[in-house]
Each structure stands twice: as C-alpha cells, then as structure tokens.
Amino acid sequence: MAISTEILNTTFADLRGPLVNSFVRSNELLSALMDKARMPSEGGSLIERSFAGGAPARGVGVFVGDELLNMTRRQQTKRFQVEPHRIVAAINIPKKELLFNSGKLAVIRLIEEYPQTTLEGAKADLNAFLLTGVSRGLVFQTADLAGFLSVNGEFAAGSGTGVTNGLLKFATPATQNQNVQSVPKSTSYSHFNQYGAITAYATDGLPTLRKTYRQCAHYAGGMGKGPDLVVMDDDTYTNFEDSRLSLVRVTLVEDKTEKSNMLGLDLGVAKVYSSIDLDRTASTFSGTPAQFGVTYILNTDYLEMPLMEAPSITPFTERVGDQDVVTAIFSMQGNLICTKTPAQGCVSGGAI
C-alpha cells in the first residue's frame, strides 16, 4: 500500500516542531539568544535600535554661583539599522518514493531522509555564515545568506541595509571605520569592538583572552555582566583545552574560608565552545590575522535576532506544476542586530 500525502502529513505534524526546535538549538548563538528571549517577533521593513554615543546632558562646575546650566540636548543619537532577510527552501519528496513505500516506519525514514537532512544542512550553512561569512553550501549558497549580518568583521560582501560589513573586526578599535549596521564605526561615539592578538598560545594565549574579556565586560557594566558566550575554531580550542589540563591545584595554607582552585580556568561567566562551522581557513579570513586562529567573545545581552517569521515548515502538498513530487516549504525571516558593540570582542591567533 502506497503512502498518501495525508498519511505522510499525519506523522510529519508530530515531528515538525521538534525539527524546527533542533534547527535553532543546534546553533550555539541562536540557542543562547532563545534562552534569553532575544529572538522577539517584530514587524517593519527595517530592524532598528537607537543608541547614544554621548550622555543626554552636559554638566557645569559651580565655582561662583552664577554659572548657567548647560541646556545641551542629546546630540549624538544614532540608529542601528539592518534589513530583515528571508530564506526559503522547497523540500521535495518524489511521489515514486511514496508509491514504493508503506507503513509508519517508511514514513519516518522519508522524513529523516528529506526534511530532517535539509534542516541539518540549513543549520550548518547558517551557522557557518554567521561565524565566517561563508556558507558550507549544503542547502544555501553564500550569496543566498548574504542578507544576514555576519559576526565576522572581515566579511565585506553583504547584501542589504546595514549588513555589507560584518560585526567584529580583527583590528584595533582606533583603526575600525567600517559601516556596520548602517553606522560607521568610531571610538568617538563608542561604536567599535574589542580586539586582542595572540602571538603564540603558549606565550600569551590565556592572558590575551582574559584581557579581551575584561575589556568587553567593562562596557557591559562589570565582570559579573561580562560576555557569556565564547566561540573558537577547533585548533584554538584544542590549545585552550590543553592549557586547562596543564593547570595544577593549589593547596592553601592556613586559610579557613577559601576552598576554591585558585588557578581554575574560566573566562568570567562565559561558556566556551568549539564550532566545526567556524573555519579559520575560510576565504574571508585569508590574509588576515584571523587565519591564525579565531575567537569570538560575545555578550548575548546586547545581541538580538528579531524575527518577522520564525523558522517553520509547512505540511507537504502535491505540486500542481511540472514535477511529480510532494513539497514542504521551510522558511524564516529576520536578522541579527547588536545594540552595544564595545561589549563584544574577538581575538586572532591561538591556533599555533
């Protein structure tokens, strides 16, 4: 007995939600944003967030008593703007497959083979693009994802408002001048990212990571409110892990209260991940300091992924056109936006 479209959709209805949830949760950045409710539903042709490069008032010193108050109003209010980007993929199952199979196990196999595999590929493509500016090309090519804001500041080929250049540049703050999120970077109004450069991991790896973390935390309100997500390429993470294993436990003498490991390795409150999609050999890193190692130090309190359409999959429907298939549509629309760039950082080197 063949599998009808109705039978296929009956089983698929129970699996569509878990498939979409897995699509989001398997992406380190999107998962962290979802946990903090930083993926709100939003409308409009642009995603906009205001920020002030200066305080909204100017004070005066009173030496005599007849000084006039400075009535200056906020002069440096600027507005981050990114354009929401939409991606769509048609998931086709040939009707021949439906006619050749029968039973619930066959339905589950077809769902694993087509929708599940498609979403796993789309996840890898999106994650790779957000981290490097280059897609893996499994479902979406790099040009298809060019409307999203990439975290990689070496990427400079985005398509759409505010996304031409990536977010975090591997350069000192004073030399950052790219137009990011529709606002040119400048230290004069605090639109820049922190940056550290590791010469060799054994020499200054951990000190550089910790210093960059502290610099990000200062702009976030202190160490307790510092970055909470660190993503490294696999080579840098290997060195990071080795440095943890080489630490020794200190025995404290005549201390009645302190029982912690004084040399315990951490980066503040941040969780550190290695991502296979963060490829330091990607074309966008070629010729830059990041080709020798990539680390992103992110504070998700100041990152959002507003969605005009949350990731979703439609039920399968029969095609009316020229293909003998049943089709489900995967789609999402939104974009990444950062509301405080000085609280974010990146580190080059560390892989050697």
pLDDT tens, residue by residue, 101-114:
888 899 999 999 99
Q: Mean pLDDT throughout 261-274?
A: 64
Helices (H), the chain: 5-25, 28-35, 95-100, 104-111, 117-132, 201-220, 234-245
For domain 5-52+76-348, the question of CATH label 3.30.43 is answered with no
Predicted local distance difference test score (pLDDT) of residue 285: 96
Measure Cα distances from 306 to 24, 41, 46, 52, 311 in Å: 14, 6, 10, 21, 12
Q: Mean pLDDT throughout 127-131?
A: 96
Q: Mean pLDDT throughout 2-13?
A: 90
Q: Mean pLDDT throughout 228-254?
A: 78
Q: Does 266 score more than 70 pLDDT?
A: no
Which region among 13-17, 107-111, 242-246, 256-260 has the lowest average model confidence (pLDDT)?
Answer: 256-260
Of 253 and 345, the structure prediction assigns the larger pLDDT to: 345
Q: What's the pLDDT tens digit per position in 180-236?
A: 999 999 998 899 999 999 999 999 999 999 999 999 999 998 777 889 999 999 999
Predicted local distance difference test score (pLDDT) of residue 189: 87
Q: What's the pLDDT tens digit per position in 311-336?
A: 999 999 998 777 889 999 999 999 99
Q: What's the pLDDT tens digit per position in 40-62?
A: 998 889 999 988 766 677 889 99
pLDDT band for position 253 (cuts 50, 70, 90):
low
Q: Greatest CA span in the chain, whole angstroms?
A: 97
Share of residues in the chain with pLDDT > 90 (%) = 68
Which region among 67-71, 169-173, 233-237, 297-301 has the lowest average model confidence (pLDDT)?
Answer: 67-71
CA quadruple 30, 35, 37, 42: dihedral sign? positive
Strand, helix or coil at 244? helix
Which region among 56-70, 147-161, 237-251, 338-352 has the lowest average model confidence (pLDDT)?
Answer: 237-251
pLDDT band for position 246 (cuts 50, 70, 90):
low
pLDDT band for position 265 (cuts 50, 70, 90):
very low
Predicted local distance difference test score (pLDDT) of residue 261: 37
Give burial (CB, 10 Å; 0-12/13-18/19+) of 225. Answer: middle
Token couple for 118: 């498609």
* CA end-to-end distance (rounded Å), the chain: 59
Predicted local distance difference test score (pLDDT) of residue 216: 95
State the average pLDDT for the chain: 89
- CA separation for the pair 39, 18 (Å, rounded): 18
Q: Does 259 score more than 50 pLDDT?
A: no
Q: Does 27 score more than 50 pLDDT?
A: yes
Predicted local distance difference test score (pLDDT) of residue 258: 47
pLDDT band for position 78 (cuts 50, 70, 90):
confident
Torsion of CA 263, 197, 269, 55, to 10 degrees: 130
Strand, helix or coil at 321? coil
List the one residue out of 259, 314, 342, 322 whose CA is nearest residue 118.
Answer: 314
What are the sequence ranges of the domains in the chain? 5-52+76-348
Q: Mean pLDDT throughout 73-79?
A: 70
